Structure 1
Amino acid sequence: MSQVHQAVLDYFNVYLILFIIIKKKIHTVCSLSECIKHQYYYINMRMNWTEAQRYCRENYTDLATVHNMNDMKELNKTVNNRQNVWIGLSQTTHTWKWSLGDPVNYTNWENGQPNSHPKCAFMRNGRWQSEICNEKLSFICYNGSSKGYVIENSNKTWRDAQSFCRQHHTDLTSVRSQTENENIVKIINNNETSVWIGLFSDLWEWSDNSNVGFRYWKSVEPNGGSDAQCTEVQMEKQGEWNDAGCHHSITFVCHEDQLILIKESRTWSEALKYCRENHMDLVSVHSDKIEKRLNTVVQHASTAEVWLGLRHSCTVGIWFWVSGEIVCYEKWAEGNETAVENCETVMRSGAVQSGGDHRWISLPETERCNFICSRYD
């Protein structure tokens, strides 16, 4: 693409953005594409778990991953019968996860914690400790609508607290930073109070390697031994999960990811052309939900940076998405939002780091990187 053609494209996108802002207001633009979900496919053939995994990987992306209750509802609608179906969760080794599905990048354990036995986590005096999940404690819910925390003083087991939070709010709370930890301490308002948080340890992992902590087990599950190492959704039990022997032959659900990592090194303009010809567009990131899925996909890249559909215009001095929306959700590495030197001669585009905490950076568009296409509009 020539510089003249690229300048015309930049002008078009910038003025489209300005038009959208005038017509719909910024808060409306920022709400676009808030939800990103898997496309689920019910496969009405009976296979064991390993055979089902192979089939999904050959024909779709993988056996189904379930990120949250919205995904669970979509999966139930897709199956729409009373059979049991395989999903992509199987037993491996113990790791700590957040119930809400956030990556565990921050911890604040008390000295000597967590102990060697897999348990659930509670907070007291701002520090975390592990405990048997059947203990009854107060707990902290997170409400996604208000973006706030709610303390519940009724004593419940960790699983019952999780169910209560999902029914009345969003989920048991994640604690992703020291700031969030301090905010929760203020809400508890009693240093001696022990409250469940959403951190738990289990030995289940998703087939597509997603670091997703969402679980929807029946109240007594998982309870199997060494033979019950795979997960079936029991449709007659409102879609609750059961651990089962992987050798059983049942129907299953595949998913097709709406974000696709292309492990080819191309310039930004070449990546844009490829995505628009083969999928929908270079990916735009408008929310935490899309960011979480992006982080799962990008960690498998073969280059240190991965192109996004993020572009800088020297003309008006702003960053914008090639999908025609303003940048209202941001995750810039320090100083990179303004790293647009010599932009009159060197076009700048946005990329995400494939390692670390996946911050956005500014790069000359002539750099060659992997890139992520989106299948959604």
Structure 2
Amino acid sequence: MTQTQYFLLLIALCSISECVQRQYHFINEKKTWTEAQRYCREKYTDLATVDNMNDTIRLRKSVNDERIWIGLQKTSVYKWHWSSGDPALYLNLSSSPANNNNCTSKMRNGQWSVVPCNNNNYFICYNMSRGFVFVNQTMNWTAAQSYCRQNHTDLVTVRNQNENQQLEKFINDRNFSRSSVWIGLFRDTWQWSDQSNSSFRYWDTGKPNNSGGNESCTVIGQNSQRGWEEVSCDRQYPFVCHEDKLIVIQQNLSWSEALRYCRQNHVDLVSVQSVEMQRRVMNVVKLATTEAVWLGLRFSHISGIWFWVSGETVCYQNWAPGNGTSEEDCEPTVRSGAVQSEGDQTWISRPETDRLNFICSRYE
């Protein structure tokens, strides 16, 4: 195969998008939130976690017109999230947020200010094909989030100092006169039952507002958009469970032993072919007992490329700096890919004889 033919084949393979979905199960029995949680944990994985709009659309189609429990519950601890779902590892806050200041705007001086979400600001969306998109309209943070999700990808995410400087230059190049614009960083006290890091929220207009004074659990509402509402946890509704297709095995095996274990007991070592699958890996890898966890990623000395054992080409990549390069050609040991279990959970290259935990996939 010529280099041109190989390049065209790579493009074709990378165009085929596998839709990674957790499996939902609608249970048409009325239970309190705690009873529903117990049922889901006994029969499946947990009460439903919702990661994105694709999950939301699937849920709309699979449930009836009643209010339906999902796994989001209020806690007493504030946590930072990006609207896009990325972990909030980089923060550039100008000061500690005051009470009820939960949404973030970027100041002209490069720092971020946390202000009430009902303020009206211009804002910046991120578009997968166009990059930063400045929106010359003022909205509150929630309305800006909805606008970006409907017309682009999401409110902009800033993951490190370099991206913060790029965004600052983008704003300054437009001679923007206002002092700040919305970005996608927010904080709240809501947590998913399965303890996942999903920051996706789909609140109905005006929610959450805790109008009853004791509304700590979440239902899919009955309006036409099926936006979420917070209600008292002791009410009784049908509910949705989810079944995860990824599982962390807390055994320390070599890469080849891990591959054999997954194929004998599940389906395969996990292949990470999209941002969505990487987020699911990030949600489960925190259960690991080793500093890194094997993926189904292997380096071929014959072809000089990394490949997934499931047969897919490595299109989406999430390598840590200095890993996944052609330098593996010169390594005498066989190299395989692992994901870090802490920090930003990027991929690293390790000798395949290292003994690590690993992630099996149950996707057929």
TM over 0.5: yes
Among 170, 174, 197, the residue aligned to 2:157:
174
Cα distance change of structure 1 residues 104 and 43 upon mapping to structure 2, 3 Å threshold: same
Deviation string for 1:27-75 (max 9, x for gaps)?
Answer: 2222344532211110111111111111111111111111111110011
Once residues 263 and 130 of structure 2 are traced to their aligned partners in structure 1, the CA distance between those partners, rounded to angstroms, is: 35
Deviation string for 1:170-226 (max 9, x for gaps)?
Answer: 222211122222222233223642211111121111111111211111111111154
Once residues 320 and 146 of structure 2 are traced to their aligned partners in structure 1, the CA distance between those partners, rounded to angstroms, is: 37
Corresponding residue for 1:309? 296
Corresponding residue for 1:37? 21
Corresponding residue for 1:9? none
SS of corresponding position for 2:282:
helix
Q: Is the 8 A contact 1:91 1:205 kept in 2?
A: yes
Cα distance change of structure 1 residues 124 and 49 upon mapping to structure 2, 3 Å threshold: same
**1:140 matched to 2:124:** yes
SS of corresponding position for 1:130:
strand
2:146 is aligned with what amino acid? Answer: S
**Deviation (angstroms), 1:316:** 3.0
Corresponding residue for 1:269? 256
Among 69, 72, 82, the residue aligned to 2:56:
72
Q: Is the 8 A contact 1:347 1:365 kept in 2?
A: yes
Q: Is the 8 A contact 1:268 1:367 kept in 2?
A: yes
Once residues 317 and 366 of structure 1 are traced to their aligned partners in structure 2, the CA distance between those partners, rounded to angstroms, is: 20
**1:190 matched to 2:181:** no
**1:158 matched to 2:144:** no
2:240 is aligned with what amino acid? Answer: V
1:299 is aligned with what amino acid? Answer: K
Q: Which moved more, 1:22-31 or 1:298-307?
A: 22-31
Corresponding residue for 1:221? 207
Once residues 136 and 334 of structure 1 are traced to their aligned partners in structure 2, the CA distance between those partners, rounded to angstroms, is: 39
Cα distance change of structure 1 residues 132 and 23 upon mapping to structure 2, 3 Å threshold: closer
Among 64, 78, 83, the residue aligned to 1:94:
78
2:175 is aligned with what amino acid? Answer: N
Corresponding residue for 1:360? 347
State the percentage of identical aligned residues.
Answer: 52
Cα distance change of structure 1 residues 336 and 171 upon mapping to structure 2, 3 Å threshold: closer
2:185 is aligned with what amino acid? Answer: L
Deviation string for 1:334-361 (max 9, x for gaps)?
Answer: 33335648855x4322111111211222
Residues paired across the two proteins, number: 356
Correspondences of 1:189-208 after superposition (within 5 Å): 189-190=174-175, 192-193=177-178, 194-208=180-194
**Deviation (angstroms), 1:235:** 3.8
Once residues 130 and 51 of structure 2 are traced to their aligned partners in structure 1, the CA distance between those partners, rounded to angstroms, is: 19
1:46 is aligned with what amino acid? Answer: K
SS of corresponding position for 1:25:
helix
Corresponding residue for 2:66? 83
**Deviation (angstroms), 1:375:** 2.3
Q: Which moved more, 1:178-187 or 1:35-44?
A: 178-187
Cα distance change of structure 1 residues 336 and 135 upon mapping to structure 2, 3 Å threshold: closer
**1:46 matched to 2:33:** no
Q: Is the 8 A contact 1:96 1:201 kept in 2?
A: yes
**1:322 matched to 2:309:** yes
Corresponding residue for 1:5? none
Runs of 4+ residues deviating >4 angstroms: 21-24, 338-344
1:320 is aligned with what amino acid? Answer: F
Q: Is the 8 A contact 1:306 1:354 kept in 2?
A: yes
SS of corresponding position for 2:306:
strand
**1:57 matched to 2:57:** no
Once residues 272 and 169 of structure 1 are traced to their aligned partners in structure 2, the CA distance between those partners, rounded to angstroms, is: 39
1:177 is aligned with what amino acid? Answer: N
**Deviation (angstroms), 1:136:** 1.0
Q: Which moved more, 1:32-41 or 1:47-56?
A: 32-41
SS of corresponding position for 1:217:
coil
Corresponding residue for 1:25? 9
Corresponding residue for 1:105? 89
**Deviation (angstroms), 1:91:** 0.2
Q: What TM-score do you get using the length of structure 1 for normalisation?
A: 0.87
Cα distance change of structure 1 residues 52 and 147 upon mapping to structure 2, 3 Å threshold: farther
Once residues 177 and 136 of structure 2 are traced to their aligned partners in structure 1, the CA distance between those partners, rounded to angstroms, is: 13
Corresponding residue for 2:236? 249
Gaps of 5+ in 1: 1-14
Q: What TM-score do you get using the length of structure 2 for normalisation?
A: 0.90
Corresponding residue for 1:6? none
Gaps of 5+ in 2: none
SS of corresponding position for 1:216:
coil
Among 107, 110, 114, the residue aligned to 1:130:
114
Corresponding residue for 1:12? none
